[in-house]
Amino acid sequence: MKEVLYLEVPIPDTAAVRQWLQVDFQPGFGEKCLTPDGLCLKLPTDYTASDQIISEKLPTELSIFVWSVQRTTYLKVFRWSDQFFPQEKEILLRLKTEIRRRFPHQYPKPPVIDLSQQSIFEALAPYYPLTVKYFQKIPNGEYDLKRAYWWEQRWREGVRNPQQPRQVVFSNPKSQIQNSQWNYDLIYIGGALGVVHAAVMAKLGYKVLLVERLPFGKMNREWNISRDELQSLLNLGLVTSSELESIIVREYKDGFNKFFDGNNPPKLRSPILHTPTVLNIALDSEKWLQMCGQKLRAAGGEIWDETEFLRADIDNSQVIVTVKHLPTQTEKQATGRLLVDAMGTASPIAWQLNGGRAFDSVCPTVGAVVDGGFEPQVWDSQYGDVLYSHGDISRGRQLIWELFPGAGEELTIYLFHYHEVHPDNPGSLLEMYEDFFTILPEYRRCDMDKLVWKKPTFGYIPGHFSVSSSDRKVAFDRLIAIGDAASLQSPLVFTGFGSLVRNLERLTKLLDTALKHDLLSFRHLNQIRAYQSNVSITWLFSKGMMVPTGKFIPPQRINSMLNTFFGLLASEPPEVADNFIKDRCDWFTFNRLALKAARTNPALLLWIWELAGPRDLFRWVGNYFNFTGYALVSALLSSWFPRFLAQIQPWLEPRNPALWLQLLTLRYAITIGKPRSLNQTSTVNPEAVIPIRN
């Protein structure tokens, strides 16, 4: 028996595919014999030696069948012999061509609804029945489903009209504004990642305003990170060790990385990759936000929640921000020296600054926090799933799961996929939620109606394929973006939160320097970013996990690629995988692993070419040379340059602050992301506060 065809049919209705196969498909040769899951194609009864010389091993039938998993239909054809079935190539080509024509890719979009006439549940039930069913079981589920719908509509609007984004930032250099004295040093828009950075800056003595569209402290994601990465929060004096421990709700023993390999050849199957120190710390995100909010207010900062950003007007001396208080629908203004965009992927500021290349990729992510209901044998809460797939490409997406234990019996479960930003296919949160509630029992055995739903988790995690440290705008005069709005995160498992925490000291020090010396123009602020050359080089990894819009590729292809590389990491010492996933991979390790992967799976290069295309592949070559340049500069400077800067700071900074900011930016660029041993510990006293401001 030999498999001769394997197809993904991008439709949940397997019965419709089977019906088409049994009734409408005409193979052109052979006799159709119907089976429960498809058909057998047998030799015609009048097939004689005059038609073809018959050998003893001549196959007498092809078996064609369909099945469903991941709310997707799959089709396979098996031949019951090593010999070709008569006209086999023509039959398979006809089957493939006609099934693609009959069942093409479809990218449904949410319906236009009027909530003045019906509830969100009533409006969406005909389209997303399971999503509505289980959101009704979630506390505040109606409110959260409205937010998911709103976020998807906002995202789609930006993707559909990238060349003409809505203008929200206005430059008026000669504006005659009556209030010429600013009220705040910093105005942050966005209270999730924004409050972390705002609290640090407020503790440094700056007058800070935080504007948040939602009730402050409400999160639609949970945050996981590792203990060594939390060190920056201690280094900056934002929290003490005891405060940090109070927001840690779980530290698991090990994290698993495994991709489905049932349809991979034996050489492309890999063992489980164990990553015990990756994302193994679960934080109480809402408690963490409230703690940061308290520290912000204690340092003199203010929080305007349930307040929506409308526009920013920038002149030579200040930025004027217009906002609307949603409960009262009243507008008001605030003035400041600098505006910080922390609104995430839906940020209209990010879309305006970057136009058609606001983001190159995105991870539509959905999930939920479940507070019990799984059988005891299903999962041990001392362990997590960092990256896991239980099937092949599903309706043009390689779905990937994450599972992280939380407090008590809580489990936070995510479902996501890597996705190119395309106006015809922006990526749907609501479609993903319907998948999530349908296929969760396939991933982890459970009775969905017995699970205790605590809250949903969802969002769009952006990605930008940086060719250099300045090819994306993260700033404007008196304006800078951080977190997901800056789209400078790892292509693997970290969102803007991980990037922000790992780069918090860097962003804080550079922004403090810019504010002290009034270096608030675009050319100065655009240097302040969480860019790493070793992160920009790995965007090709995430590109290899995306199915181009409208294109069919072998269903097992992405799992084959993931198993190739994660199999290599599993064969390496633990610190190699830890450094790679935490964006600490150096030039020599990257090249060694890349060459090893090419030797293990020579087809890998061709597969990447097919998925990325020549344009992106040539862009990546530019990344590689840039990465090599940074590695060379780091090798030459890293051993002495930081000490040299410390020596010349008292003389250089007051005389030429712009040059000092540039050199300080270089210092962080060559030191951030250096490899670290798993046994390496910080020499910093956790209770110590490193002075950032002179």
Is the pLDDT at 688 greater than 60? The verdict is no
What's the confidence (pLDDT) of residue 49?
46
State the DSSP code for 672: T
Across the range 89-108, mean pLDDT stands at 95
Residue-level pLDDT at 677: 52
Lowest mean pLDDT among 101-110, 154-163, 609-618: 154-163
Rounded alpha-carbon distances, angstroms, from residue 335 to 55, 187, 196, 204, 468? 87, 8, 21, 20, 33
Tell me the mean pLDDT in the region 279-298: 93
Q: How far apart are CA 673 and CA 648, in angstroms?
A: 25
Q: Which of 348-352, 353-357, 504-508 has the lowest mean pLDDT?
A: 353-357
Per the DSSP assignment, residues forming a β-bridge with 309 are 323
d(CA 559, CA 642): 43
Beta-carbon contacts of residue 182 (< 8 Å; ≥ 6 apart): 317, 318, 319, 335, 336, 337
- For residue 3, pLDDT over 70 is answered with yes
What is the reported pLDDT for 683? 35
> Which pLDDT value is given to residue 671?
83
Residue 207 has pLDDT above 80, yes or no: yes
Q: What is the pLDDT of residues 26-52, one digit of tens each?
A: 998 888 999 999 999 988 877 654 445
Q: Which helix (H) or strand (E) holds 149?
A: helix 141-160
Does the pLDDT value for residue 106 go beyond 50? yes
pLDDT-derived band at 247, boundaries 50, 70, 90: very high
Helix (H/G/I), strand (E/B), else coil: 267 = helix
Element (H, E) at 73: strand 72-79
Where does the pLDDT of residue 581 fall: very low under 50, low under 70, confident under 90, or very high at 90 and above? Answer: confident
400-405 vs 273-274, strand pairing mode: unpaired
**DSSP character string of 5-68:** EEEEE--S-HHHHHHIIIII---SSSEEEEETTEEEEE--TT--TTTSPPPTT---EEEEEEEE
Nearest to 411 by CA among 249, 218, 230, 247: 249
- Number of other CB atoms surrounding residue 152 within 10 Å: 24
- Among 201-215, 221-235, 323-337, 646-660, the least confident range: 221-235
Mean predicted confidence (pLDDT) in 233-259: 93
pLDDT for residue 160 is more than 50: yes
The top-scoring range by mean pLDDT among 36-45, 319-328, 544-553 is: 319-328
- Return the domain boundaries, the chain: 2-102
Percentage of residues in the chain with pLDDT exceeding 70? Answer: 90
Rounded to whole angstroms, how far apart are CA atoms 187 and 372? 40
| C-alpha distance from residue 244 to each of 169, 237, 255, 291, 296 (Å) | 37, 11, 22, 10, 16
Segment of 61-75, 217-231, 360-374 carrying the highest mean pLDDT: 61-75
- Cα distances (angstroms) measured from residue 692 to each of 235, 359, 689: 10, 32, 9
- The amino acid sitting at 99 is I
Q: Residue 492's pLDDT is what? A: 54
Residue among 541, 279, 608, 215 nearest 412 (CA)? 279
Judge whether 541 and 492 are in contact, CB under 8 Å: yes
What are the two backbone dihedrals, phi and then psi, of residue 193, each rounded to the nearest 5 degrees? Answer: -70, -30
Which candidate, 142, 138, 385, 395, places its Cα nearest to that of 273? 385
User: On the CB side of 238, how many CA atoms lie within 13 Å of its CA?
Assistant: 26
Q: How confident is the model at residue 128 (pLDDT cuts 50, 70, 90)?
A: very high
d(CA 579, CA 628): 18
382 vs 389: CA distance, rounded Å: 20
Question: Is residue 417 classed as helix, strand or coil in its secondary structure?
Answer: coil
Mind listing the pLDDT tens digit for each residue in 442-451?
999 999 999 9
Res 4 pLDDT > 80: yes
* Residue 346 in this model has a pLDDT that exceeds 80: no
387 vs 381: CA distance, rounded Å: 16
| Element holding 2 (H helix, E strand) | strand 2-9
- Of the listed ranges 163-172, 415-424, 645-654, the least confidently predicted one is 163-172
Query: Within 10 A of 18 (CB to CB), how many other CB atoms are there?
Result: 22
- 615: number of Cβ within 10 Å: 8
Report the CATH number of the 2-102 domain: 3.30.310
CA angle 185, 190, 194 (to 5 degrees): 65
Q: Is the pLDDT of residue 490 over 90?
A: no
Residue 630: half-sphere exposure toward Cβ, Cα within 13 Å? 30
Predicted pLDDT at 358: 60
User: How many Å apart are CA 348 and CA 169, to the nearest integer?
Assistant: 9
pLDDT band at 83 (very low <50, low <70, confident <90, very high): confident
**Ranges 68-77, 311-320, 431-440: which has the least confidence:** 311-320
Question: What is the distance, to the nearest Å, from the Cα of residue 68 to the centroid of all Cα atoms in its chain?
Answer: 27
* 82 CA to centre of own chain: 44
> Is the separation of the CB atoms in 57 and 82 below 8 Å?
yes
Q: What is the CA radius of gyration of the chain?
A: 27
Tens of pLDDT, residue by residue over 594-651, are: 999 989 999 988 888 888 888 888 888 888 888 898 889 999 998 999 999 999 999 9
Residue 690 pLDDT more than 50?
Answer: no
Q: Report the DSSP beta bridge partners of residue 64.
A: 39, 77
**More confident position, 490 or 663:** 663
pLDDT at residue 352 is higher than 70 = yes
pLDDT in tens, 496-512: 677 788 888 999 999 99
Q: Dig out the tokens for 101 from the structure.
A: 């024509």
Between 53 and 123, the higher pLDDT residue? 123
On the 0-12 / 13-18 / 19+ scale of CB atoms within 10 A, 328 is: exposed
Cα distance between residue 198 and residue 336, in whole Å: 14
Please enumerate in sequence order all residues whose Cβ is within 8 A of that of 3, keeping only pairs 6 or more positions apart, or say none: 76, 77, 78
pLDDT of residue 70: 96
Residues contacting 251, CB < 8 A, separation 6+? 227, 280, 281, 282
Asked whether residue 687 carries a pLDDT value surpassing 50, the answer given is no
Mean of the pLDDT values across residues 262-288? Answer: 92
Place of tokens 């050489």: 267
Residue type, 652: L
pLDDT of residue 467: 63
Residues whose CB falls within 8 Å of the CB of residue 18, separated by 6 or more in sequence, listed in order: 37, 38, 66
pLDDT score, position 466: 65
Residue ranges with strand state E in 389-497: 400-405, 410-416, 419-420, 453-463, 475-476, 479-481
- At 692 the pLDDT is 33
CA pair distance 259, 559, nearest whole angstrom: 6
- Scan for tokens 């092949």, then name that residue: 392
Alpha helices (H) in 538-602, listed in sequence order: 539-543, 557-571, 574-581, 587-600
AA letter at 360: D
Q: What is the mean pLDDT of the chain?
A: 87
Please tell me the predicted confidence (pLDDT) of residue 125.
97
What average pLDDT score do residues 57-83 get? Answer: 88
pLDDT value at residue 98: 96
